[in-house]
Amino acid sequence: MANGTGNKSVVLSDIRKSYGNLEVIHGIDLTIEEGDFVVFVGPSGCGKSTLLRMIAGLEEVTEGEIAIKGRDVTDLDPSERGIAMVFQSYALYPHMSVGENLGFGLKMARTDPADIERRVAQVSAILKIDPLLDRRPGQLSGGQRQRVAIGRAIVRKPDVFLFDEPLSNLDAELRVSMRIEIARLHRELGNTMIYVTHDQTEAMTLADQIVVLRDGRIEQTGSPREVYEDPANMFVAGFIGSPR
């Protein structure tokens, strides 16, 4: 809500997910305001990635509805949802240069080549990867690769960014500097960001709103301060309070 405009960005209504007979997401209701940085946090296996992938359209919902900017997107393809996702593994195209990686999504969308060049130049300047445009992903460090992956998401100007543990493959020092960079990006771009992590420090430092998950249910939603100072139960207190 710190940055929220009051408009609804992503609304989840009674979302459920089953794999075979096993339900792993048990009826989640959540409203995310436009411009907010929302962090899904919780232990491994609690359903963070599944939830994010359903918002992205990479995973079908078993029950419930997802709306983005007031539009029911439950049955739409990922490309029709106005979202872009950054994963833990960089998933760059190894045979393309950095510049080609950045422009690829726009090229697929038949964007005018001059526009592609302009957007790629803008985005690479923002992320300070402009000196790397002619390199291949194999010639980059982990942090540089993750920057390119983030750039590839930004370049399409999505309404909503989805991040699934984007920093967990990086060493501790780089994680801190990338975290600061992501916070800066959010201030500059002002988009809605939904960020999944199992790391409480990342959650506490990045979030406007924290969503604490356990076993496919929301335990608590609130600002970092609310969740820290007034945890809903012992689980939240233990999870947010204890360093790991």
Residues that bind ligand ADP (CB under 6 A): 19, 24, 42, 44-50
Contacted by 96, from ligand ADP, Mg ion, none: CB < 5 to 8 Å by type = none
Contacted by 101, from ligand ADP, Mg ion, none: CB < 5 to 8 Å by type = none
Least distance CB 212 / ligand ADP (angstroms): 12
Nearer to Mg ion, 49 or 146 (CB): 49
Token pair listed for 172? 């501790």
Alpha-carbon gap, residue 210 to 208, rounded angstroms: 7
- The answer to whether the CB of 134 falls within 8 A of the CB of 58 is no
- The answer to whether the CB of 150 falls within 8 A of the CB of 182 is yes
Least distance CB 196 / Mg ion (angstroms): 6
- The answer to whether the CB of 64 falls within 8 A of the CB of 26 is no
C-beta nearest to Mg ion: residue: 49
Contacted by 57, from ligand ADP, Mg ion, none: CB < 5 to 8 Å by type = none
Cα-only R_g, the chain: 18
Least distance CB 47 / Mg ion (angstroms): 8
Residue corresponding to tokens 């964007």: 111
Nearer to Mg ion, 33 or 40 (CB): 40
- The answer to whether the CB of 32 falls within 8 A of the CB of 202 is no
Least distance CB 99 / Mg ion (angstroms): 30
Contacted by 99, from Mg ion, ligand ADP, none: CB < 5 to 8 Å by type = none
* Contact map string, positions 35 to 74, toward Mg ion, x by CB under 5 A: --------------x-------------------------
Q: 107 burial class (0-12, 13-18, 19+ CB within 10 angstroms)? A: exposed
Nearer to Mg ion, 49 or 191 (CB): 49
Nearer to ligand ADP, 132 or 162 (CB): 162
State the DSSP string of 108-147: HTT--HHHHHHHHHHHHHHTT-GGGTTS-GGGS-HHHHHH
The residues that touch Mg ion, with contacts defined as CB under 5 A, are 49
